[in-house]
Amino acid sequence: MSRINGFIGRRSFLKLSGLVGGSLMWNMQPTLASEANLNPVNSDEALKRLIDGNNRFLRQKRLYPDQSIRRIHSVSQAQHPFVSVLGCADSRVPVEIIFDEGIGDIFDVRVAGNVASDTAIGSLEYATAILGSQLIVVLGHKRCGAVAEALLDETAPGKISMLVDKIKPAVKDIKSKIQNDSDDAVIANIHYQIAKLHENSIILPELQDKGKLKIVGARYDIDSGKVFIVT
């Protein structure tokens, strides 16, 4: 099996994850061996960088890194994001802004309720196994509408129900004890989605076992702008 800096190569990755045959619906350029990241950011460094960036955001001392035309050109042929974030699609939680990062820094997977769907997991597998990101952050947020919907005893309309149904197991044991906007439900969902990453991926646990990956949970406070680590 071919590898890039200790990670599996693109062809082997596609075979292993069952994505051969055009099931990937986006056009992401693979990192080639000649373009491999020779100086990857380890998980502890990556987490510190995120926390430092969020602190700058809170103090309004942002550096706006990696947002120049020069940066656009430098990452045009290959990307080496130092972190992957599975976050909610909520418009109030733009990860590059709240972490004061820029182009090519964060592999950003966003879906309502930060749900670890098969598509999201496939994206994270690509970011870690192919691009070499060594940290995944599952980022929930205060007053998440998808989590609030999962606490209701009714069926959500249309395709929304497909997302909500993937959150309901996370909150079923606590919904009678909490309010719809409770952080307890948000945090429970973060933990649940992390568990789904472990249960439904072959690649991510393997990388963790080899010390190539760390997965953490975090909660964003939409009132203050602060990110709290919850795992």
pLDDT digit string, tens, across residues 92-137: 999 999 999 999 999 999 999 999 999 999 999 999 999 999 999 9
pLDDT of res. 227: 98
Residue 126 lies in a domain: yes
pLDDT digit string, tens, across residues 12-58: 555 555 543 333 333 444 433 335 676 789 999 999 999 999 999 99
pLDDT digit string, tens, across residues 165-218: 999 999 988 876 665 457 899 999 999 999 999 999 999 999 999 999 999 999
CATH number of domain containing 48: 3.40.1050.10
Quote the domain boundaries for residue 190.
Answer: 40-229
pLDDT of res. 12: 58
Residue 124 lies in a domain: yes
Reported for 71-80, long-range contacts at CB under 8 A and 24+ positions apart, including other chains, are 71/102, 71/103, 71/104, 72/103, 74/104, 75/103, 75/104, 77/29, 77/35, 78/29, 78/31, 78/32, 78/35, 79/29, 79/31, 79/104, 79/107, 79/131, 80/31, 80/37, 80/40, 80/104, 80/131, 80/132
- Cα 46 from Cα 15, distance rounded (Å): 29
Residue 78 lies in a domain: yes
Residue 4 lies in a domain: no
Pairing assessment for the beta strands 83-87 and 106-110 based on DSSP bridges: parallel
Starting at the edge strand found earlier in the chain, the sheet holding 106-110 runs 106-110, 83-87, 135-141, 214-220, 227-229
Please state the domain count of the chain.
1
pTM of the model: 0.85
